[in-house]
């Protein structure tokens, strides 16, 4: 093999080694907080969802991929973007629920959101689905519209429980539940809560619980337990603080509503795989969920994280994987560059192409100049004589012109109409040019003018 082939083989081996190294290299951990039950990354909830039946003591745990209104009432949410609906009537369900509505209305009169709070604390006349279950939301951010909030309140008021773990419960049009129940979440300064002996962690303690639940402190990283709950002091709340940090700020509370309860938690990342699989932190998630009634079916919401079933479009799958996402963006950029470059090439100004000039006269002058450099014009005179004899053959049909023949001269004079003396003079000049050893400028000029005059008179 030649040296060049060895170079090519070496480059191919290096390229193959690089591809194999990139393929078998361990992938970096994805720390994005999806909290989805299908993700096995540190902040997915695959592990918790897998053991949820044992934690709740039930075999009926369903993953829900429907909006709250659809799941609870079995119908699409009407006029979700136009405020209070006109095709659904909200009425109290019972005397207990009526007292809850009156209490909420009285509190809302002291707040700017009077209409919103009154609407959300009423129960819908549309009947709930027959299934009785606990509704579980483990999200980084929880949002609910006015009708969804009213459906949740109705759902809890008749005796169900709702467990919501989120760092953000929305604001404005998406924060109806927080406004109605009178609470909010805020980001706490965890630097003051890094207690010994774990100076890099935040301690969380269960304040009260059921018999058999652990009462030890649980330690989380500051970014996983950085939010706290705050209740609106202007509204009376029935419930209890179930867990708090070292400073006494709540992270898990129970709010009683009708015959059911809302369980609100501000540390949703504590339910992720990373903490659930750590022995010293896993009990917090299990203890928090154990407040839900045992043996009752549970609904695990995935709609706010994955959307409806069937919404897995090709583009969504591409965006979910970094490699495919990068390839997609490169394809878009390459296509854009191709369009711009191709359009520029096709729209280029067409240059004006001038017609080719007639260079016959220029060529003739160049050749004449070459003959004139020798100051002997015998060759020019010979060529002009040969061209003149060819002119006589083609124009007057004289195949073998004999300039010395008297009959030829007389016949030529009759055919051309040129007087005989003029023809004799032209013949003399031609014979002189053909026999003279040298031809001067003047002699060549006289011969040229004589031939020119003959052709003009013989036309």
The structural domains of the chain, with segments of one domain joined by +, span 27-311, 317-347, 360-457
Compare 44 and 105 and report the one with higher pLDDT.
44
Q: Which of 247-251, 338-342, 400-404, 433-437 has the highest mean pLDDT?
A: 247-251
Instruction: Convert the pLDDT of each residue in 290-317 to its tens digit.
Output: 999 988 899 999 999 888 876 556 677 7
Kindly state the helix (H) or strand (E) to which residue 196 belongs, with its residue range: none
Q: What is the mean pLDDT of residues 175-201?
A: 75
| Tokens read off for 18 | 């690089």
| Residues 410, 405: Cα–Cα separation, whole Å | 9
CA 176, 178, 180 angle in degrees (round to 5)?
65
Q: Is the peptide bond before 197 cis (omega within 30 degrees of 0)?
A: yes
Q: What is the mean pLDDT of residues 376-380?
A: 79
pLDDT computed for residue 350 by the predictor: 75
What is the number of alpha carbons within 13 Å of residue 219 lying toward its C-beta? 10
The conformational region for residue 170 under phi > 0 = left, psi -120 to 50 = alpha, else beta, is left
- Global pTM reads 0.59
pLDDT computed for residue 126 by the predictor: 61
Q: How far apart are the first and last CA of the chain?
A: 82
Residue among 48, 118, 76 at smallest CA distance from 302: 48
| In contact, 290 and 51? CB cutoff 8 Å | no
Confidence of residue 338 (pLDDT cuts 50, 70, 90): confident
pLDDT computed for residue 193 by the predictor: 52
Chain-wide mean pLDDT for the chain?
80
List residues bridging with 206 in a β-sheet: 243
List Cβ neighbours of 288 (8 Å cut-off, separation of 6 or more).
163, 165, 242, 243, 252, 263, 265, 270, 271
| Tokens read off for 63 | 């993953």
Q: Give the whole-number percent of the chain exceeding pLDDT 90.
A: 25
Confidence of residue 92 (pLDDT cuts 50, 70, 90): very low
| Residues 367, 60: Cα–Cα separation, whole Å | 109
């Amino acid at each position: 093999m030649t040296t060049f082939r060895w170079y090519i083989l070496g480059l191919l081996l290096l390229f193959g080694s690089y591809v194999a190294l990139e393929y078998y290299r361990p992938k970096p951990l994805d720390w994005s907080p999806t909290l989805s039950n299908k993700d096995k990354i540190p902040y997915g909830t695959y592990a918790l969802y897998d053991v949820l039946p044992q934690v709740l003591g039930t075999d009926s745990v369903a993953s829900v991929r429907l909006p709250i209104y659809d799941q609870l009432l079995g119908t699409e949410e009407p006029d979700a973007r136009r405020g209070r609906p006109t095709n659904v009537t909200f009425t109290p369900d019972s005397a207990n629920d009526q007292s809850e509505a009156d209490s909420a209305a009285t509190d809302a009169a002291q707040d700017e959101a009077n209409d919103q709070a009154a609407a959300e604390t009423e129960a819908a006349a549309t009947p709930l689905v027959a299934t009785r279950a606990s509704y579980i939301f483990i999200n980084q951010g929880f949002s609910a519209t006015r009708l969804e909030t009213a459906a949740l309140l109705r759902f809890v008021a008749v005796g169900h429980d709702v467990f919501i773990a989120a760092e953000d419960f929305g604001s404005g049009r998406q924060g109806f539940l927080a406004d109605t129940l009178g609470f909010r979440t805020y980001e706490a300064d965890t630097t003051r809560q890094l207690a010994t002996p774990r100076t890099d962690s935040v301690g969380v303690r269960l304040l009260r619980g059921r018999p058999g639940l652990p009462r030890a402190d649980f330690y989380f990283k500051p970014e996983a337990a950085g939010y706290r709950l705050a209740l609106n002091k202007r509204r009376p709340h029935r419930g209890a603080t179930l867990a708090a940090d070292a400073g006494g700020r709540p992270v898990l509370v129970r709010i009683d509503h009708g015959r059911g309860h809302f369980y609100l938690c501000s540390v949703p990342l504590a339910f992720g795989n990373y903490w659930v699989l750590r022995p010293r932190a896993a009990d917090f998630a299990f203890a928090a969920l154990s407040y839900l009634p045992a043996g009752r079916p549970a609904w695990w919401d995935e709609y706010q994280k994955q959307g409806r079933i069937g919404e897995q479009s090709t583009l969504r799958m591409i965006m979910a994987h970094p490699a495919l996402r990068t390839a997609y963006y490169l394809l878009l950029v390459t296509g854009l560059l191709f369009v711009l470059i191709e359009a520029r090439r096709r729209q280029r100004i067409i240059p004006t192409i001038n017609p080719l000039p007639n260079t016959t006269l220029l060529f003739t002058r160049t050749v004449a100049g070459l003959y004139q450099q020798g100051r002997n014009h015998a060759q020019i005179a010979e060529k002009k004589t040969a061209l003149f004899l060819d002119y006589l053959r083609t124009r007057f049909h004289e195949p073998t012109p004999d300039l010395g023949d008297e009959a030829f001269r007389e016949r030529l004079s009759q055919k051309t109409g040129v007087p005989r003396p003029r023809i004799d003079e032209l013949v003399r000049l031609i014979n002189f040019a053909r026999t003279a050893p040298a031809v001067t400028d003047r002699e060549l000029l006289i011969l040229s003018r004589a031939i020119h005059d003959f052709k003009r008179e013989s036309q």
